[in-house]
Amino acid sequence: MHAAVVTRFDGPIEIQDLPVPELRPGQVLVRVEASGLCHTDIHAARGDWPVEPALPFTPGHEGIGVIQHVGAGVTGRAVGERVAVPWLGYACGICDYCVSGRETLCESQLNTGYSLNGCHAEYVAAYASHVVPVPEAVSSFDAAPLTCAGLTTYKAVKVSGLRPAERAAIFGIGGLGHLAQQYAQIFGAETVAVDVTGEKLLLAAELGATHVVNAAADDPVRAIRDLGGADVAVVLAADPRVLQQAHASLRRGGRLVLVSLPRDNAMSLPIFETVLGGISVIGSIVGTRADLAEVFRLHAAGRTTVKYETRKLDDINRSFDDILAGRIPARLVFEL
């Protein structure tokens, strides 16, 4: 099969012809139809993070496809089902995180496209317990970005406790942000979309943003505080300075949700304002299988719009470059 393979952290990804993967007990074989490209793939391929993936490996954790085979001991999934293969490739199922609905914190988790071979390939072997069925009303190409970008932002909004009639500020309206904004609206909030390009702010307005702020022209802190301040701020721009702005734009009782991982691993948190304002800063990491099922259900109900471009897998290196150069307005999805 055709597969993208990272063989070294300092060079391009190779497209190789590999045997179809063999299944471990509990796994299913998925014929991938669509595989979304996530910024995490770039970090994985470059060994950016403290615990590097073992080489060689195939990245990709927004894979959608149909189950071709089921391995030993699989229950609950069947050949022919169309499923998503997300970042949370496996969790132990018995630790207190797993049992209490917080499987994304499982210390024994395996991650697709990182510690498990991923979805930028024609086939992927995935643990049956952790693939998520895709409803018929959701196309594979919509489902792909929903599987990480959608899930991550949905969960971010969920853990923020955002409620109807509150105001949410979304910093960065790209592949993640345009979904975060929609989820904030689904949770009943009015939204303020903050970005530095007019094109993205047009998209935000079209998707229903109550307000848009061009941070290249206006101070977003002042603009949001003039509206009364934000109850929730979700930051999709991996930049500590934007985190500071987001914090400063909160009204009392506000919540700042962190989901992106900036290169510089530190945010300077103003203690005085945090204490006096009763502010919370909340870390959120992807979402559970139940969250992803909800994301799909909302899309099937017509409540979200997914913006993406399709690419050929052979274009993976160019695609990385395009993302790093900021040339991609929303999300890329490989056709397989």
Where on the chain is the footprint of Zn ion (CB under 5 A)?
A: 38, 40, 91-92, 95, 98, 106, 148
* Structure tokens, 329: 């307005």
Q: Which of 294, 309, 322, 335 binds its own copies (CB under 8 A)?
A: 294
Alpha helices in 137-258 (DSSP H): 140-145, 151-159, 177-186, 198-206, 220-226, 240-248
- Specify the residue, 192 or 320, whose C-beta has the smaller distance to Zn ion: 320
Residue 73 Cβ vs its own copies, minimum distance, rounded to whole Å: 5
Residues 301-330 interacting with its own copies (rule: CB under 8 A): 301, 303
- 38's contact among Zn ion, its own copies, none, with CB below 5 to 8 A by partner kind, is Zn ion
Please, what is the angle between helix 151-159 and helix 289-300, to 10°? 100
Residue 35 Cβ vs Zn ion, minimum distance, rounded to whole Å: 11
Check binding of 259 to its own copies (CB under 8 A).
Answer: yes
- 282's contact among Zn ion, its own copies, none, with CB below 5 to 8 A by partner kind, is its own copies
Hey, CA dihedral for 98, 101, 106, 108, is it positive or negative? positive
Site string for its own copies, 65-84 (x = CB under 8 A): -------xx-xx--------
Residue type at position 108: S
Q: Is the Cβ–Cβ distance between 59 and 120 less than 8 Å?
A: yes
Q: Which helix (DSSP H) or strand (DSSP E) does residue 91 occupy? A: none
Q: Could you give the CA distance from residue 231 to residue 317 in angstroms, rounded to a whole number?
A: 39
Check binding of 252 to its own copies (CB under 8 A).
Answer: yes
Q: Could you give the CA distance from residue 249 to residue 193 in angstroms, rounded to a whole number?
A: 12
Q: Which of 165, 216, 325, 327 binds its own copies (CB under 8 A)?
A: 165
Residues 104-163 interacting with its own copies (rule: CB under 8 A): 104-105, 107, 129, 158-159, 163
- 99's contact among Zn ion, its own copies, none, with CB below 5 to 8 A by partner kind, is its own copies
Check binding of 334 to its own copies (CB under 8 A).
Answer: no
Q: Is the Cβ–Cβ distance between 235 and 255 less than 8 Å?
A: no
- Specify the residue, 47 or 277, whose C-beta has the smaller distance to its own copies: 277
3 phi, psi to nearest 5 deg: -150, 145
Q: Please name the residue that has the structure tokens 């919509």.
A: 142
Residue 197 Cβ vs Zn ion, minimum distance, rounded to whole Å: 22
Check binding of 266 to its own copies (CB under 8 A).
Answer: yes
Site string for its own copies, 20-39 (x = CB under 8 A): -----xx-------------
- 138's contact among its own copies, Zn ion, none, with CB below 5 to 8 A by partner kind, is none
List the one residue out of 186, 147, 187 whose CA is nearest residue 163. Answer: 187
CB atoms within 10 A of CB 209: 25
Count of residues near its own copies by CB under 8 A: 73
- Specify the residue, 28 or 148, whose C-beta has the smaller distance to Zn ion: 148
Rounded alpha-carbon distances, angstroms, from residue 16 to 1, 12, 71: 8, 12, 25
- 161's contact among its own copies, Zn ion, none, with CB below 5 to 8 A by partner kind, is none
Residue 305 Cβ vs its own copies, minimum distance, rounded to whole Å: 16
| Beta-strand pair 62-70/27-37 | antiparallel
- 148's contact among Zn ion, its own copies, none, with CB below 5 to 8 A by partner kind, is Zn ion
- 164's contact among Zn ion, its own copies, none, with CB below 5 to 8 A by partner kind, is its own copies
Q: How many residues does the chain have?
A: 336
List the one residue out of 218, 274, 211, 275 whose CA is nearest residue 244. Answer: 274
- Specify the residue, 59 or 220, whose C-beta has the smaller distance to Zn ion: 59
* Structure tokens, 134: 């895709």
Q: Which of 199, 276, 312, 318 binds its own copies (CB under 8 A)?
A: 276
What Rg, from alpha-carbon coordinates, does the chain have?
20
